[in-house]
Structure 1
Amino acid sequence: MKRADRLYALMQRLKDGRLHTAEAMAQDLGVSIRTIYRDMETLAASGVPVEGARGSGYTARAMITLPPLNLTQTELEALHIGLAAVGAGDEAELADAARALSDKIDAVLPEDVGTPKARFGFATYPFAEAAQGFRHMPTFRKAIRARQKLRVKLDGEGMYHDIRPLHLDYWGRIWTCVVWDETAGDFATFRMDRISDLSPLPGLFVDEVGKRLKDFHALRE
């Protein structure tokens, strides 16, 4: 398993809000406990709100508040996308302005003792490549609203998936999409930055029991 994939798997586990020990995570992922310790440090440095310490376990808390504003998850996503996209652009003046705005946001974000300082708008390795997923998000959002089927191909896979896009999720600087994968006949969660090819299909879909977003959430409860 690539390190970026392992870190993503750890993020998915931590976001349930429960306490997870390094020993259990190491066993499930087939790595050493020391590797998990290093991964937790990397996640924290990348801005993922990891809490915990060696020997006691780890969890993650939601970070969606910018005093004195209360932001929704979608509003926070839009803010991050804008800063990251402009900051990575070729316009030097705009890129500098985006980084300055990022610094101002950093100055008012809540901080906990022992949490490493991390820039809000610009992720560090291994999540810097996540910006590649930005190009697909307008198509996904439009398809979710219109209930339009999509055909996607993921990096490293030779096959295409015909999917029903159900939900876009932003957490820990990674954008994912929840879909009903008609090719596999099951729910799936794809990382947006791993989609190498995407095209709309002519068919629309209607809600079917067992293939809806609420059915996906029910399976996770």
Structure 2
Amino acid sequence: MRRADRLMQLVQILRDGSLHRASDLANATDVSLRTIYRDMETLAASGVPIEGARGIGYRVTAAITLPPLNLTMTEMEALHIGLRAVAQSDDKELSSAAAALSAKIDAVMPEDRSRAPAGYGFAIYPFADAARGFQHLPRLRQAVRTRQKLEVTLQDKPRIMRPLQLDYWGRLWTCVVWCETTDAFDEIRVDQITALKILPSLFVDERGKSLPDFHKHRQLSDT
């Protein structure tokens, strides 16, 4: 398993908010305790809100805080997209200002980011290509709100999906979907989407395919 995939698996395990022992995480991912300790440090450094310590356990918290500001999910998304868009503009002064603002935000992030690359919204570690997914966020949000089906291309394979919920994990965005192509729930990383198209067809909640059903399914798989 690639390290980025293992880190994503750890985020999915920790996301329930419960305290998980390092030994249990090591068993779940088939790695050593030392590797888990390094992975926790890496996730915390990348911006994932990890709480805990060796010998106690780890959990993911929900708050995203920038002293003295408390940012909502929508505000964080706007910040991501805005900084990325300005940085790519032809105006060198504005592009430079976006990079400077990125560095200032990095400096006040509450997590220990001493080992993470500088540049908020630019170099995202350990998911270094996460910025590629920012372009898809507005359409994903629209589809979740209007309950429109999507044609999503992952690894050059198009799939028809029902977007149910967007989640943010310390600079990494994921989307909970019901995939009509595989006839199963999935939680896709937005940065791995190579193409996305909103389809005209709408969807309604069906038994076994809704967001509450996804949460029940995840709870059963976690037990």
Moved more, 116-125 or 207-216: 116-125
CA distance, structure 2, for counterparts of residue 55 and residue 130 of structure 1: 31
Task: Figure out how many residues of one structure are paired with residues of the other and give that number.
Answer: 216
Per the alignment, residue 129 of structure 1 pairs with 129
Judging changes above 3 Å, is the alpha-carbon distance between structure 1 residues 146 and 52 closer, same or farther for their aligned structure 2 residues?
closer
- Which residue in 1 is equivalent to 2:105? 105
Determine the structure 2 residue equivalent to 1:190.
188
> What's the C-alpha RMSD, in Å, of the aligned pairs?
2.6
Alignment of 1:197-212 (within 5 A): 197-212=195-210
- 2:146 corresponds to which residue? 146
Contact kept, 8 Å, 2:46 with 2:113, in 1: the verdict is no
AA of the residue aligned to 2:60: A
More off after superposition, 135-144 vs 84-93? 84-93
User: TM-score normalized by structure 1?
Assistant: 0.83
Shift of 1:116: 4.0
| Contact persistence 1:85–1:131 (CA under 8 A) | no
Tell me the SS of whatever aligns to 1:128.
coil
Work out the CA distance in 1 between the residues paired with 2:51 and 2:106.
18
CA distance in 2, matches of 1:126, 1:67: 24
Q: Taking structure 2 as the reference length, what is the TM-score of the superposition?
A: 0.82
Name the residue aligned to 1:5: 5
* Corresponding residue of 1:174: 172
Judged with a 3 Å threshold, the aligned counterparts in structure 2 of structure 1 residues 126 and 167 are, in CA distance, closer, same or farther, namely: same
More displaced, 122-131 or 190-199? 122-131
SS of residue in 1 equivalent to 2:126: coil
Aligned residue in 2 for 1:75: 75
Long gaps (5+) in structure 2: none
Shift in Å at residue 120 of structure 1? Answer: 7.2
Quickly say closer, same or farther: Cα 1:16–1:81, change in 2 above 3 A: farther
Structure 1: stretches of 5+ with no match in the other structure = none
Q: In the alignment, is residue 163 of structure 1 matched against residue 161 of structure 2?
A: yes
Using the alignment, how far apart are the partners of 2:9 and 2:133 within structure 1?
A: 18
Distance 1:17 1:129, change over 3 A: same
Relative to structure 2, which stretch is displaced further, 3-12 or 137-146?
A: 137-146
State the shift of 1:88 in Å: 5.6
Structure 1 residue 89 displacement after superposition:
5.5
Which secondary structure does the structure 1 equivalent of 2:168 belong to?
Answer: strand
- CA separation of 1:7/1:90 partners in 2, compared to 1, >3 Å: closer, same or farther? farther
- Would you say the 8 A contact 2:124–2:130 is kept in 1? no
Change (3 A) 1:93 1:128: farther
After TM superposition, the structure 1 stretch with the greater mean CA deviation from structure 2, 139-148 or 172-181, is 139-148
Shift of 1:159: 4.1
User: Shift in Å at residue 196 of structure 1?
Assistant: 2.1
